[in-house]
């Protein structure tokens, strides 16, 4: 991400919510100097400062996304670092963790360095590369984790491939812990999901599509927690979809195991019933499940069992999605609507106050990886977002910044919108 000298800022009139410090102040003031938050501006800075009137809005730390795909290298038809990070900024995300399932995969220093170079030129927000856990994310031989750590990866994961062998997973956890790396795991027993298209239940029967049982996720979530107990290595369960998986994490945390977990915004808002029209943009991995799963995930997010809300941004081209449902790839472009989707499901529906959701978008995910992000504290990088929680809007295909248009919420009425986003004190999105 390019950096340059920034103009001092004074943000006035907004409700300031900083979950990391417990700050919730009506009509407060926030100051930025040299790209960082400060308690006050000097006289000279005050004369040069730009005042932002944020009356009626909420100012919060920039969101941190733990699961995002930016296309490059190798998949630029779907997304580029430039378009993906502009979409991230439009969604309020100032830090995103880029998944390593690029082409070639980020299982070597060269690919990681290439991504960092591209981001240095093109990124509108902060991009943290993740490395693969195994070579080629094939789940067979461990990737050179020490070298990847030196190259700057923030975590390791085999993404949707997953490690299907528990002995390899055990050794991977032990190896990653040696270098202080958190292992991110997509919980899927592939032997139970071959050919599956959506959640296994009444709707899969009605639509004539092969079902994907909850157990395929819950079995791996259970084994991951058991291995965390055995190795004492940090493991983070990605985009959980099952209420049973949330309960497994709840029990693991009660035992003091080093386990954290996340949920995607779409899984908080939608269910398998939304696939009634065979919309390929709703073909997700993991799949949307039933209403009882959705409510269980919301409850787990509210009580802290789930640490973070992620976008799980997985862009696909219009051509890839324009086919029969069972032939379409999994994934949805979600960065720009993640906040609104989660806000609609959690806050607007009365499950929790706004401050709780913001914690799961900011300091919660930052803690998972030990990142210096997700706070408005003096001295921290001035990454923040201005929100209108009451704004009602409908995303349009023409208004999206992501290169891919496979956002399933296009045309859907949503409540809560990002108005502007700042990274290091510079506006990355907004009028």
3-state secondary structure of 155: strand
Instruction: Determine the 3-state secondary structure of 317 from DSSP.
Output: coil
Instruction: Round to whole Å and give the CA distance between 104 and 88.
Output: 23
Q: Which of 14, 67, 146 is nearest to 361 (CA)?
A: 67
Q: Is 326 an annotated catalytic residue?
A: no
For residues 259 and 204, the answer to whether their CB atoms sit within 8 Å is no
Query: How many angstroms separate the CA atoms of 191 and 377, rounded?
Result: 47
Give the contacts of 154 (CB within 8 A, at least 6 positions apart).
97, 128, 129, 130, 369, 371
Question: Nearest-CA neighbor of 266 among 230, 247, 241?
Answer: 241
Set 18, 101, 224, 312: catalytic member:
312
Identify any residues that bridge with 384 across adjacent strands, giving them in sequence order: 61, 422
Report whether 171 contacts 145 (CB < 8 A).
no
Token representation of residue 339: 């906040």
Tell me the torsion sign for CA atoms 410, 413, 414, 419.
positive
Q: Which residues are catalytic?
A: 312
């Amino acid at each position: 991400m390019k950096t340059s000298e920034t103009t001092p800022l004074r943000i006035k009139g907004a409700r300031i919510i900083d979950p990391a410090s417990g700050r919730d102040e009506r009509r407060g003031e926030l100051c930025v100097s040299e790209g960082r938050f400060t308690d006050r501006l000097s006289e000279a800075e005050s004369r040069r400062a730009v005042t932002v009137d944020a009356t009626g809005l909420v100012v919060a730390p920039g969101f941190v996304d733990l699961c995002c795909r930016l296309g490059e290298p190798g998949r630029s038809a779907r997304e580029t670092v430039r378009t993906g990070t502009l979409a991230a900024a439009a969604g309020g995300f100032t830090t995103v963790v880029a998944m390593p399932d690029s082409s070639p995969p980020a299982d070597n220093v060269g690919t990681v360095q290439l991504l960092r170079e591209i981001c240095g030129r093109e990124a509108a927000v902060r991009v943290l590369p993740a490395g693969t856990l195994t070579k080629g994310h094939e789940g067979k031989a461990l990737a050179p984790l020490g070298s990847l750590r030196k190259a700057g990866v923030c975590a390791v994961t085999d993404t949707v491939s997953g490690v299907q062998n528990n002995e390899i997973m055990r050794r991977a956890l032990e190896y990653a812990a040696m270098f202080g790396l958190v292992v991110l795991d997509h919980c899927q027993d592939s032997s139970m999901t071959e050919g599956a298209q959506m959640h296994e239940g009444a709707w899969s029967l009605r639509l004539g599509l092969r079902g994907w049982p909850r157990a395929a996720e819950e079995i791996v979530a259970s084994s991951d927690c058991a291995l965390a107990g055995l190795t004492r290595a940090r493991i983070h369960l990605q985009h959980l979809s099952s209420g049973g998986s949330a309960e497994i994490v709840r029990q693991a945390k009660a035992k003091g195991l080093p386990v954290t977990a996340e949920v995607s915004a779409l899984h908080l808002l939608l269910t398998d019933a939304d696939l009634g029209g065979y919309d390929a943009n709703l073909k997700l991995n993991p799949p949307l499940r039933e209403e009882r799963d959705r409510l269980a995930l919301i409850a787990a997010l509210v009580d802290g069992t789930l640490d973070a809300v992620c976008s799980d941004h997985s862009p696909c081209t219009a051509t890839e999605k324009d086919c029969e449902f069972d032939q379409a790839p999994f994934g949805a472009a979600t960065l720009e609507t993640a906040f609104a989707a989660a806000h609609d499901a959690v806050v607007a529906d009365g499950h929790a106050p706004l401050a709780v959701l913001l914690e799961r978008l900011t300091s919660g995910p930052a803690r998972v990886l030990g990142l210096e992000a997700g706070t408005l504290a003096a001295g921290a990088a001035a990454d923040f977002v201005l929100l209108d929680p009451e704004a009602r809007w409908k995303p349009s295909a023409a208004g999206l910044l992501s290169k891919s248009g496979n956002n399933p919420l296009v045309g859907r009425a949503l409540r809560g919108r990002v108005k502007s986003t700042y990274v290091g004190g510079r506006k990355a999105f907004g009028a």
